[in-house]
Structure 1
């Protein structure tokens, strides 16, 4: 590894460490109460050094938010590529996202608030997240068409319909309002999924 590559690797390691410590503080105290000084202190760095990697406190918050959402997308992609049926994968993806959001809302409220606050300010982050989940759903639908589970002409259009249909689940901004009743939320989700699959099957028959 050349000198430049080593330097870049070291910078990447420091950046990752900053985000790890920041996330720990955000989960514990909330992003509103966490200062760059507190993050730098735990890292044994100066604030100026932290600002070399992230120009503002908001940049750290946004990076943590995007990283958290990227983890959700990665889990969804893993399920989409499994050998289960398209119906099973669709159900598993949506239930998994539902459970992640529900757990965050119930037990990790500081992170839920951080994500909601960031998405309200960062439209690009929200579009990226929803767009990537749309690609996940399209992958599942295409596999269902290939396996003969779905008979549709345009998987991309159907995926966009699915994304719109489940937007209250996929979008953390809406989840709290639409799934606030923890006892009934998963039951309501399963009803939603049944209605969507029935609508897809009916559209195939016409």
Structure 2
């Protein structure tokens, strides 16, 4: 049952990610929208579907293969966007695969259901932190403002 529920949720996130990645927006805008959308999806699941949220937490704690595959899929999408940004002269990193993994790691606090729940329970302004982290990552990728 956990596998089926997680499958539904990770597929929803993957569809959102792919839709954003396919747009004609600049890479920095795609990355910003994608990171924000993934966080928003996780927050929405927590608030509107707590039982589903708890099953996703369980799957993550059990280190299920579906979660690992989902993480790799997201990192691949990040890499594609970063490569686009490099080709367009928007980003200045040498290794897009490494940068994609770093982006994922940098956003763990905004993706991980336990951490999202913790921030909401303690009244932390996670939205402001998300915007700050996006700006930080875009600067790290070489995006100038």
Alignment deviations for residues 35-73 of structure 1 (CA, whole Å, 9 cap, x no partner): xxxxxxxxxxxxxxxxxxxxxxxxx22122122112101
What residue number does 2:106 align with?
165
TM-score normalised to structure 2 length:
0.88
What is the distance in 2 between the residues matched to 1:98 and 1:181? 17
**1:175 offset after TM fit, Å?**
2.6
Which one of 8, 24, 46 corresponds to residue 83 of structure 1? 24
Aligned length: 144
What is the distance in 2 between the residues matched to 1:116 and 1:170? 11
Select the structure with the greater relative contact order (CA < 8 A; seq sep ≥ 6): 2
SS of 2:141's equivalent?
Answer: helix
User: In the alignment, is residue 117 of structure 1 matched against residue 58 of structure 2?
Assistant: yes
What is the distance in 2 between the residues matched to 1:130 and 1:169? 14
What is the distance in 1 between the residues matched to 2:88 and 2:120? 33
What residue number does 1:146 align with?
87
Which one of 109, 115, 121 corresponds to residue 174 of structure 1? 115
What residue number does 1:185 align with?
126
Matches within 5 A, 1:51-66: 60-66=1-7
What is the distance in 2 between the residues matched to 1:182 and 1:128? 32
Alignment deviations for residues 140-172 of structure 1 (CA, whole Å, 9 cap, x no partner): 101101111012221111111111111122332
Could you list the runs of 5+ residues in structure 1 that have no partner in the other structure?
1-59
**1:181 offset after TM fit, Å?**
5.2
Which one of 28, 32, 36 corresponds to residue 95 of structure 1? 36
Alignment deviations for residues 91-116 of structure 1 (CA, whole Å, 9 cap, x no partner): 10011111111111122111111111
What is the distance in 1 between the residues matched to 2:55 and 2:118? 16
Which has the higher Rg, Structure 1 or Structure 2?
A: 1
What is the distance in 1 between the residues matched to 2:85 and 2:71? 21
What is the distance in 1 between the residues matched to 2:74 and 2:24? 19
Which of structure 1's runs of 4+ aligned residues deviate more than 3 A? 178-183
What residue number does 1:57 align with?
none
Could you list the runs of 5+ residues in structure 2 that have no partner in the other structure?
none
What is the distance in 1 between the residues matched to 2:20 and 2:6? 22
SS of 1:201's equivalent?
Answer: coil
